Chain A
Amino acid sequence: MLDLDRPKIEIRGVSKTYASERGPVLALRGTDLTVNEGEFVSIVGPSGCGKSTLLYVVGGFLAADGDVIIDGSAVKGPGTDRGVVFQEYALFPWLTVHDNIRYGLERQRVAASERDKIVDRLVNVIGLSGFENRYPRELSGGMKQRVAIARTLACDPAILLLDEPFGALDAQTREIMQDELLRIWLETRKTVLLVTHDVTEAVYLSNRICVMSARPGQIIEEFVVALDRSCSREELVISEPFNSIRNKVWLSARRQALAAGKQE
């Protein structure tokens, strides 16, 4: 029952309180967000504003007040329809590259021959052929993140949740990974929800950007990003439309960051 008018992800009035040493902390307050199928939505905001929390709630890792509806049904817990990539890579250190990518396929009881095909294809896609039998400890940060993305893609989730996936990488690697991610998204057209503090990254990758307020988090502003991504990165990043949107988003995010600073 495919209702093409229904959004893929609906977040309505989600609030989340954490217990902490100094008493309960309200991380999210009445957050609303709608994401349509095939959209690439970024959430930017000051650190501690709750954007990661929102992502974890959508992923089903944290329970919260309010509704999170995916494809018409409420989220009850983690699921293979929502693939997740963390900043810390979260690769299983005891499994090789090959076995990490294969992991989800094994859990889904995919046939062995099919499994190997998918893993081999993905290893090629991320450009790590020859590294299948390495352990995560032998890989660089960028390589680890690629494996993490491949592992998530292996299960072909309809939704990708990315929590500051490139935050731990150096600037050059980050740019390369952003291009990779963009390429994968253009090919597969999955619904992507990206959390990042890097405004430029958000503008480069997404077609919609949501700015979150300081804690307790709420979506304060939204920006539609309609850029012509057919040109090269160099051209795009220098172009006027790119920078105009980037400046607007940056100012909005900065306002929130300053407000957060005042809070401390």
Chain B
Amino acid sequence: MTHFPGKLLLSATRWMVRIAPLILFGLVWHLVCSAQLVNKDFLPSPLAVAAAFVDLFSSGEIATNLTITLFRAAVGLLLGAGCGVWIGVMMARSRHFREYVTPIVGGTYSLPKSALIPLFALWFGIGNLTAIAAVFLACLLPMVVNTYHGVLTTPKVLVWSAEALGTRERELWPRVFIRNALPDIFTGLRIALGFSFVLAISAEMIASTNGIGKLIFMYGENGTYDYMFAAICCVVIVAFFSDRALLVVTRRVLVWHESGAFERERRRP
């Protein structure tokens, strides 16, 4: 227990070394602005952006809009992921289903989902449903593909062992196939999470009256660039931390997976 403060200090130091380049980046940004190398309008100084950031938070403007965006992304993600897993499992279970569904699923792969936003705007108007529909479709495919792959690559000796130990046909699905597919499912979920943000924000920029995508766009049009930069920073931070949160959950759920498999997926050596 005497090691504890030492360990904490060590990991705090390591963490600071890792984010040091960001501070460097901030300093360079500040220098560029104060030396007036660039027109002030094009690049607000980091201090101005920080001030705008604080202002947005205190006025609640970011909070309201962010909540709207996150709501749209989350609903689309959950629906898309749920349906995606189901479709993926069904595709693995039934050859007929797979043959019927493949061209539709494969087709949506090539279609940039944001291209459907104007169509959805036509059908559902400007608002939540358009954004949610776009997010839903975007999240569907990675989940289908990854679930299908995960189920398909179940080693047959695992299935045979389960059968020899008395597992009934029906039970094989929840007990063996889906469990085996979990790592792939979580990989797909990570991709889908990224998509959910992209589509939610795209939908807001194209066809919405609220949400953080719209906010960013609006600030741009009004010329209040420091607020625009602040809102963009906010988005980056939220996206980063939600990705991290997913990784933490993944590592918990997949504690049994080959050690380092999800460490290796991350970029850090």
Do the two chains touch directly in the complex (Cβ atoms below 8 Å apart)?
yes
In this complex, what residue of A is CB-closest to B168? A107
A137 touches B258 (CB 8 A): yes
Binds A, one of B56-64, B142-150, B154-162, B232-240: B154-162
Interface of B is mostly: helix
Within 8 Å by CB of A93, from B166, B171, B257, lies B257
- Central interface residue in A79, A80, A92, A136, by most chain B CB within 10 Å: A92
Which chain B residues border A56 with CB–CB below 8 Å?
Answer: 160
Which chain B residues border A59 with CB–CB below 8 Å?
Answer: 160, 164
B257 touches A61 (CB 8 A): no
Interface of A is mostly: loop
Please count how many residues in chain B sit with their CB below 8 Å of the partner chain's CB atoms. Answer: 23
A107 touches B161 (CB 8 A): no
A143: Cβ under 8 A from any B Cβ: no
B182: Cβ under 8 A from any A Cβ: yes
| Inter-chain residue pair count (beta carbon < 8 A) | 70
Separation in Å of the B166 CB from the closest CB of chain A? 4
Known: A92-B176, A94-B182. A78 touches B255 (CB 8 A): no
A86 touches B259 (CB 8 A): no
A86 touches B163 (CB 8 A): no
Extra 15 A-B pairs, beta carbons < 8 Å, given A77-B163, A104-B166:
A60-B163, A78-B164, A80-B165, A86-B157, A88-B155, A90-B155, A92-B176, A93-B258, A96-B256, A107-B167, A107-B171, A137-B258, A138-B259, A152-B165, A157-B164
Sample (14) of A-B pairs whose CB atoms are under 8 Å apart: A59-B160, A59-B164, A60-B163, A61-B163, A86-B157, A90-B158, A92-B162, A94-B182, A96-B256, A137-B257, A137-B258, A137-B259, A152-B164, A157-B164
